[in-house]
Amino acid sequence: MAEGQTLDDGPFFHGTKADLRVGDLLTAGFRSNYRPEIVMNHVYFTAVGAGAGLAAELAAGPGEPRVYIVEPTGAFEDDPNVTDRKFPGNPTRSYRSTSPIRVVGEVTDWTRLTPEALQTWRDRLAVLRTEERGAIIN
């Protein structure tokens, strides 16, 4: 992080298809939802609820998409996959941490994507998987 830069105070959100409970810890070391051949060294979260909703919709697995309110248990940084590649300055308020993040609640009233919008995002991810610039910094 650049000197003088401050990180968000939250609240923070994490989107997934996992069925979690308050108090559960999300940790690094699992396969990426977007590039399953990659084991992630970080756990990702955002201060934008809609961003977590998108992540939940696109997450791998058979479960229902869910958005959780989370809190970091340690240091975190801007997500370089977003800030270094697409949106300098982190307007998406996307973060990552090597420390666990704790589930403190669930958001039940988030707006779901239309089937067409979801397919558009899936198509974008498929293109990224085949391009060099689509590499994930894990």
Give CA–CA dist 72/116, Å, rounded. 33
Q: How many CA atoms lie within 13 A of 8 on its CB side?
A: 22
CB 50, CB 117: distance < 8 Å = no
β-pairing, 77-78 with 43-46? unpaired
- Which tens digit of pLDDT belongs to each residue from 90-130? 667 889 999 999 999 999 998 887 878 778 877 877 776 66
CB neighbours of 73 closer than 8 A, spacing ≥ 6? 25, 97, 99, 100, 101, 102
Structural domains in the chain plus CATH codes: 12-131 (3.20.170.40)
**Alpha-carbon torsion (38, 127, 121, 83), positive or negative:** positive
Give this prediction's pTM.
0.78
Q: For position 6, what pLDDT does the model report?
A: 55
Kindly tell me if the per-residue pLDDT of 133 is higher than 60.
no
The pLDDT tens digits for 109-119 are 988 878 787 78
